[in-house]
Amino acid sequence: MNFGSDNVTGVAPEIMAALVAANQGAAIPYGDDESTHRLQEIFSQLFETEVVIFPVVTGSAANSLALSVITPSFGAIYCHEDAHINQDECGAPEFYTGGAKLVTLKGEAGKISATDLAQRLATAGTGVVHRVQPAAVSITQATEAGTVYSLEEIGAITQVTHSHNLKLHVDGARFANALVTLGCTPAEATWKAGVDVLSFGATKNGAMAAEAVIFFQPELAKTFGYRRKRSGHLLSKMRFLSTQLETYIKEDLWLKNATHANLMANRLATELAAIPGLELRYPVAANEIFIYLPETVISELFAEGFKFYRWEPGGDLSLVRLVTAFDTEPEAIAAFVETVKSCLIVS
């Protein structure tokens, strides 16, 4: 009954089984093993184009390494002010780029708009030596608010991005959850919409520690290998990382897991929103719910053993975040709703 985050989960059984199975004999280290080699092919098939894929162990590494390829040290990266890269990575993008600046945009429900982006870029001082130079745009899909950019929204953003000669990065820590919601192909959600590089997340959706940086233009990937090694992110026993990613997309495990997580979130949101007096902060499009709860209810939920975060502590009413995952049990949803209801009826 832990709704704290989707990274409180363990490893999906299919992936743990694959790890055990991969533990046979010797393998060439540092990514020259068979499993890692296969990734190039199976991800190119998945995305219906030739991609270059680099496995890493964390989302912060994926994001920062990806951004370091497309942003010079004197560059600027445009992102939502609540973006994980801006708020929750202790300055990792600045470290990896050698001191680029994150320029933040406001935007409802965790999304930046193409219009705002265009306005900012118009006065950014491109070509003026006193100003950091616009280099990249980074959006999060699904967003930090649990919402999902539509293909139209992405297309509009990439249009602005590319018309200024910038590159578009997607932080896809919850890419599977977004994709299930969009109901489109991985290709449509990425390069066909203009995405240049994707941080492809697997950890939150069932892997042990596996993310990947995926380049949709192979020439962008040229320096990545050096940057990954140089930052200590090239594993020696790489097969155990690649196996996770391989299993993750095999037989649509990633979609199955994300579908379940989204379903649980949708159910929880729907049932909570139906309770008089409760209000969702954002529309629920993936596996995160932001909702205002009375402090009395929050206290009772904690007392009952439910775990989750107060996102914005308030007075009587606080905004809380509830995250579902691939292993969330329907019983936990029911129990949560029941507890909330009993509190509100009592009070």
Q: Which of 18, 22, 83, 317 touches its own copies by CB under 8 A?
A: 22
Q: Is 321 in the site for its own copies (CB under 8 A)?
A: no
Distances, alpha carbon 37 to alpha carbons 140, 201, 214, 239, in Å: 28, 19, 14, 10
CB proximity list for 129: less than 8 A, separation 6 or greater: none
Q: Is 73 in the site for its own copies (CB under 8 A)?
A: yes
Q: Is 83 in the site for its own copies (CB under 8 A)?
A: no
Q: Is 23 in the site for its own copies (CB under 8 A)?
A: yes
- What tokens appear for 30 in the block? 């540092």
Q: Which of 35, 36, 60, 266 touches its own copies by CB under 8 A?
A: 60
C-alpha 88 chain-centroid distance = 12
Q: Is 237 in the site for its own copies (CB under 8 A)?
A: yes
Q: How many CB atoms lie within 10 A of CB 223?
A: 12
- What tokens appear for 43 in the block? 């991800």
Rounded Cα gap, residues 275 and 238, in angstroms: 49
Q: How many CB atoms lie within 10 A of CB 250?
A: 13
Contacts (CB under 8 A) with its own copies, residues 122-151: 129-133
SS (H, E, C) 37-78: HHHHHHHHHHHCCCCEEEEECCHHHHHHHHHHHHCCCCEEEE
Rounded Cα gap, residues 184 and 188, in angstroms: 6
Q: Is 315 in the site for its own copies (CB under 8 A)?
A: no
Q: Which of 24, 183, 219, 347 touches its own copies by CB under 8 A?
A: 24
Q: Is 220 in the site for its own copies (CB under 8 A)?
A: no
Q: Which of 40, 72, 275, 295 touches its own copies by CB under 8 A?
A: 72
Select 143 or 158, whichever has its Cβ closest to its own copies: 143
Q: Which of 82, 184, 225, 309 touches its own copies by CB under 8 A?
A: 225
Select 235 or 286, whichever has its Cβ closest to its own copies: 235
Q: Which of 91, 218, 283, 330 touches its own copies by CB under 8 A?
A: 91
Which residues face 76 on adjacent strands?
Answer: 101, 134
Find the shortest distance in angstroms from Cβ 159 to its own copies.
25
Q: Is 37 in the site for its own copies (CB under 8 A)?
A: no
Q: Which of 28, 273, 274, 334 touches its own copies by CB under 8 A?
A: 28
Rounded Cα gap, residues 266 and 283, in angstroms: 10
